[in-house]
Homo-oligomer: A and B are copies of this chain.
Amino acid sequence: MTRPVFDPRVIQRGARLRRSPYFEATQRSGCRAYTVYNHTLLPSHYDDAEAEYWHLLEHVALWDVGVERQVEVSGPDGFAFAQLITPRDLSKVAVGQARYVVLVGADGGILNDPVMLRLGENTFWYSLADSDVLLWALGVATHAGLDVRIHEPDVWPLQVQGPKSKSLMGDVFGNPVTSLKYYHFAETDLDGIPVVVTRTGWTGELGYEVYLRDAARGVELWEKLMEAGKPYDLRPTGPSDIRRIEAGILNYGADMTLADTPYHVGLEWAVDPDLSVEFVGKEALAGIRARGVDRRLVGVEIEGARIEFNETKWPVRHRGATVGRVTSAIYSPRLRKNIGFAMVPIGLASEGTVLEVTTPWGERGARVVRKPFLDPGKEIPKG
């Protein structure tokens, strides 16, 4: 590669941070920046963010998301424990199916929003956003009286996203994978490399996740996919924040935190509708559902010139007073608009409400709009 490769020592001090099994391959592929997620380096980009976005829309992209660390729940009471920490009704999830789930604490606050895989009657994986759910699950288990094993298995996901991903998956894995319905998965292998392939992703595009089950074979898996992807112009990129914001997909830590419940951020569809199953936080969520929320995460359009992706939560103002925060904001090249999410008082959450946002480039007008911003008919993110 002639492109300069980023020196991870800018953010790596000692051996505290983990590297995914794909790390060496991402370096050779010219990764230019990493961030840190679940104590692990996450390749952020190899090229300009907008170039990577168009590539995702038109071809197929390969992401090292080994940072999506897994928590495995198993043992005789595995199902009971999984239900205890999951507000969705798991009796409706068959073995071989996955779900987008929101994990909540006893006060209903969101701890994480993983993709959950049901691998067996009593065996579940939680493929995590950025928080130590392993510690949460181990903590709940200390006094829950259930016979369960909880650990982090040696599993490292990749995402393969974009319109050409299905053809690529067909070439590599064949029909058991290409016939997967949304949020279903298959356990298979690639030349003996053990993987689980799900039809899921963080884009709103057609896409898959390939969960490697043997860290020793990471570079080998990466190289096999890169080789098979040549006819489809497969490229390694970072996760696309432009695309996920367009699709209305939230980012844990930015758009929702422990201070928010699913009702505050529009994720009530991921909670058992009649609250009939037993889970930690049920009482709190029932109370909030009955009382209603005082604030809500909404879509916003921000006026004026193209903005850069927000590094901090910009203040939202209304009639001169700070009333909320923009949690994510970015320029959409397809919409040719600045779009994002904002947490605002419930009285200012209806579509068309006019607000102001304090950006690094000054005060901007903004307006509450419907989200997702694109593809409202698509099935995401309600997996």
Contacts and interface: CB of A to CB of B under 8 A. Distances in A.
A263 to B, nearest CB: 19
Given A143-B140, A143-B142, A143-B144, A328 B15 contact: yes
B130 A251 contact: no
A130 B38 CA distance: 10
B328 A241 contact: no
Contacts of A131: 39, 132, 135
Interface in A158-200: none
Interface in A70-102: none
A311 B139 contact: no
A9 B134 CA distance: 29
A251 B14 contact: yes
Count identical subunits in the complex: 2
Contact of A241 (B9, B13, B141): B13
A269 interface: no
Contacts of A328: 14-15
Interface string A112-150: 000000000000000000111111111111111100000
Nearest to A145: B143
Interface range, A side: 35 or more
A312 B139 contact: no
Contacts of A137: 139
Contact of A14 (B11, B19, B138, B254): B254
B35 A11 contact: yes
A335 interface: no
Contacts of A305: none
A130 B143 CA distance: 25
A344 to B, nearest CB: 16
Contacts of A136: 132, 135-136, 138-139
A238 B133 CA distance: 29
A106 interface: yes
A81 to B, nearest CB: 12
B39 A11 contact: no
Contacts of A134: 258
Nearest to A14: B254
B312 A16 contact: no
B135 A111 contact: yes
A15 B105 CA distance: 23
A17 B39 contact: no
A142 B12 contact: no
Contacts of A145: 143
Given A135-B111, A143-B143, A10 B33 contact: yes
Contacts of A211: none
B15 A311 contact: yes
A93 B217 CA distance: 49
Given A10-B33, A13-B238, A139-B140, 9 more contacts: A9-B311, A10-B10, A15-B310, A15-B313, A35-B36, A39-B130, A139-B141, A140-B142, A140-B143
11 contacts: A10-B10, A13-B309, A14-B241, A16-B253, A17-B36, A17-B253, A105-B135, A133-B135, A136-B136, A136-B138, A140-B142
